[in-house]
Amino acid sequence: MTAPRLYFVAAESSGDLLAREVIDRIRAKKPDIHVSGIGGAEMASIGIDSPIDISPLSILGLFEGVKVYATVVKLADIAADSIIADAPDVVVLVDSWGFMLRVAQRVRQRAPQIRLVKLIGPQVWATRPGRAKTLASTVDHLLCMHEIEAPYYEPYGLKTTVIGNPALSRHQWGEPEKFRSAHGIPAEAPTILVLPGSRRSEIKRVAPALVEAARILKDSDPDREIIMAPAASVAAEFADAFPDVADWATVSTNASERYDAMAAADLALACSGTVTSEVAMQGTPMIVAYKTGWVTWSLARGFLYQKRHITLLNIISDDQEIVPEYVQTQQKPELIAARALYWLTNPDVLAEQRAAQQIALSRMREGDRDAAEIAADVILKEAGA
């Protein structure tokens, strides 16, 4: 019997990481399985060379998406061509709603015999629940993160499996002493970690406020150590945007030490995203910032977004602000720095924040099994393996 053929598509760094983790589990279970795909550095690290460059897909927001719509469509066409040529039994589409929907529609039209699995669904519980119907008409199986998602798909008969939050499943404790030693940071030095984003648009819109807030904190106390940790996928963009930052901060773009950096920090200033859950798991208090284009923001707030907060730790906590958010007009360096300074100079308050994040984190856990492991089992079953 011929081994099943799988094809993974990941368009952003977080999806690339998750795809690599799931593929590792699949290969451990079925070493002879054929896996091809489109992705980035994570998938390349396990021998899966992408036929297209996914970096143009690191976009943010509705209006920004419109501006690169032609590129998205072109890449979706190329992706579909690659998939059809590979003739897989199952295609796994990881995160990135807009792009993956277009890829799925093209594959479904041209090769309806291929099984389509969506790994991580759109946030229908927060915005645009109508996407549930669209997804159900396009793919065969959804692997989602939270139990709260499943009821949205039940009316449309989409097979849904809850795998839990991958960020929680991949948790490993960082080694703060290792990071501090490697970068010459004294053990007693107050340390602030800046996580400026993983998309080009985040480096443009969010990073400036976080970097300037860190600069304010450094200027107020030169003994404070600042760590800048942009995602590897946007390291070049970050370096171009902030050419002098290495003069007063430690810059780390090594993915292998990301958890060590989080654990080494007394406080993190983070762009909203998956990374906030990872920071919370390291027990590091954080402040979150975010900014998108005004057209996107107006549409989201006026018509689309159903929650008051954007950070998952807050949403899962009955939409209460457990983690401070500085969004849009509130994303000002002086406001972020003032909150950070208050925490850093009040150890009891900092400890309270750390405890509050842990309580919120506990509400995100869906079970004891590894998310990538559950996903691997479902995908293999879909492939008949």
pLDDT tens-digit map of 331-344? 999 999 999 999 99
Higher pLDDT, 23 or 131: 23
Residues 148 and 195 grouped into a single domain = no
As a whole number of angstroms, the distance between CA 152 and CA 197 comes to 30
Which tokens is 1 given? 């019997």
Residues 309, 201: one domain? yes
Q: How far apart are CA 138 and CA 117, in angstroms?
A: 10
Residue 171: inside a domain: no
Instruction: Report residue 296's pLDDT band, with 50, 70 and 90 as the boundaries.
Output: low
Q: What's the per-residue H, E or C state across 87-147?
A: CCCEEEEECCHHHHHHHHHHHHHHCCCCEEEEECCCCCCCECCCHHHHHHCCCCEEEECCC
Percent of the chain past pLDDT 70, that is, above it, reads 91
**In terms of domains, do 39 and 109 share one?**
yes
> Does 59 lie in the same domain as 139?
yes
- Give me the pLDDT at residue 292, please: 79
Count CB neighbours of 162 within 10 A: 17
Q: Are residues 202 and 284 in the same domain?
A: yes
Question: Do β-strands 34-38 and 325-327 pair in parallel, antiparallel, or remain unpaired?
Answer: unpaired
Residue 200 lies in a domain: yes
Task: Identify the pLDDT of residue 33.
Answer: 96
What's the number of domains the chain is made of?
2
Burial class from Cβ neighbours inside 10 Å (0-12, 13-18, 19+) for residue 378 reads: buried
Q: Return the higher-pLDDT residue of 133 and 302.
A: 133
Q: Is residue 90 in a domain?
A: yes
Task: Write down the pTM of the prediction.
Answer: 0.70
pLDDT > 50? residue 63: no
Distance CA 296, CA 314 (A): 21
Residue 170 falls inside a structural domain: no
For residue 30, the enclosing domain spans 5-164+367-382
Looking at residue 303, what is its pLDDT? 43
**303 and 378 within one domain:** no
Is the same domain home to 302 and 229?
yes
- Do 185 and 93 belong together in one domain? no
In a domain, 149, yes or no: yes
Same structural domain for residues 121 and 156?
Answer: yes
* Whether residue 372 sits in one domain with residue 335: no
**Would you list the DSSP string of 314-325?**
HHTTTT--SS-E
Residue with tokens 């079925």, as numbered in its chain: 30
148 with 238, same domain?
Answer: no
> Is the same domain home to 299 and 340?
yes
Asked whether 378 and 117 are in contact (CB, 8 A), the reply is yes
pLDDT tens digits for range 269-283:
999 988 999 999 999
Note the pLDDT tens digit of each residue in 146-194. 888 899 999 999 999 999 888 888 788 999 999 999 999 999 999 999 9
Q: Is 169 within a domain?
A: no
**CATH for 23:** 3.40.50.2000
The Cα–Cα gap between 25 and 266 comes to: 34
